């Protein structure tokens, strides 16, 4: 039975990903099944230089990234948040529709361009029918939740508000005012 050590290491793929700077060294180690230290050592020996890493991977930052730097501040208004959510869901649905419309071409490109069988399999899985179906299901649930949170109150809440208005001062069912004393001094 072959062990992990018998499997050849894809140093060309590791070098390509290291130089691209998209994945962290830890992610590459996990992806390729290689020790993190081995990648760092090989990069230093071979003189690999990383391109500008993504902001969340940069080690030269003096402070951690604040959430406000990544996520634009949201409005406090629930209707505005629901509208933003629906806009994002609509864009994601459009992307899903585009992928589904061109799935054959995408699969052909993946098979033609990707030489690493593990990466090819991962990419094909990412665009598979099951993944697209799960994405559609998740988007539908998100849109339903957004619509429910932004929708006017349910019937029970509407009835309660109506009853409170009717029972309020001057309403049809408001308690009657106290009697007025009328004094006739004649």
In a domain, 157, yes or no: no
Q: What is the dihedral of CA 9, 15, 16, 20, to 10 degrees?
A: 140
In a domain, 181, yes or no: no
In a domain, 104, yes or no: yes
Q: How many CA atoms lie within 13 A of 82 on its CB side?
A: 13
In a domain, 42, yes or no: yes
- The per-residue pLDDT for range 151-165, each reduced to its tens digit, is 566 778 778 877 777
Average pLDDT, rounded, for the chain: 78
In a domain, 184, yes or no: no
CA distance 114 to 123: 9
Contact 21, 52 (CB under 8 A): yes
In a domain, 169, yes or no: no
pLDDT of 2 above 50: no
In a domain, 175, yes or no: no
- The per-residue pLDDT for range 59-112, each reduced to its tens digit, is 554 555 665 555 555 556 667 777 788 888 888 888 888 888 888 888 888 888
Does 80 lie in the same domain as 23? no
Task: Identify the domain containing residue 26 by its residue range.
Answer: 9-58
Concatenated DSSP letters of 4-68 = GGGSPP-HHHHHHHHHHT-S-HHHHHHHHT--HHHHHHHHHHHT----PPPGGG-S--SSPPPHH
In a domain, 69, yes or no: no
Whole-angstrom CA distances from 157 to 28, 78, 147 are 53, 18, 17
Does 108 lie in the same domain as 81? yes
Neighbours of 86 (CB within 10 A): 15
pTM score above 0.75: no
pLDDT of 1 above 70: no
Looking at the structure of the chain, the number of domains it has is 2
């Amino acid at each position: 039975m072959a062990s992990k050590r018998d499997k050849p290491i894809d140093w060309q793929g590791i070098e390509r990903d290291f130089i691209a700077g998209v994945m962290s060294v830890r992610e590459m180690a996990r992806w390729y099944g290689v020790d993190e230290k081995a990648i760092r050592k090989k990069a230093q020996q071979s003189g690999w230089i990383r391109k500008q890493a993504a902001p969340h991977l940069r080690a030269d930052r003096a402070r951690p990234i604040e959430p406000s730097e990544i996520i634009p501040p949201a409005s406090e208004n629930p209707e505005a948040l629901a509208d933003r959510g629906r806009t994002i869901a609509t864009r994601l649905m459009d992307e899903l529709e585009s992928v589904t419309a061109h799935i054959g071409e995408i699969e052909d490109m993946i098979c033609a361009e990707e030489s690493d069988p593990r990466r090819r399999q991962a990419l094909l899985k990412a665009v598979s029918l099951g993944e697209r179906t799960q994405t559609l299901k998740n988007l539908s649930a998100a849109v339903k939740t957004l619509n429910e949170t932004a929708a006017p109150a349910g019937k029970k809440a509407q009835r309660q508000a109506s009853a409170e208005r009717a029972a309020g001062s001057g309403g049809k069912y408001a308690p009657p005012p106290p009697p007025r004393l009328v004094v006739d001094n004649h």
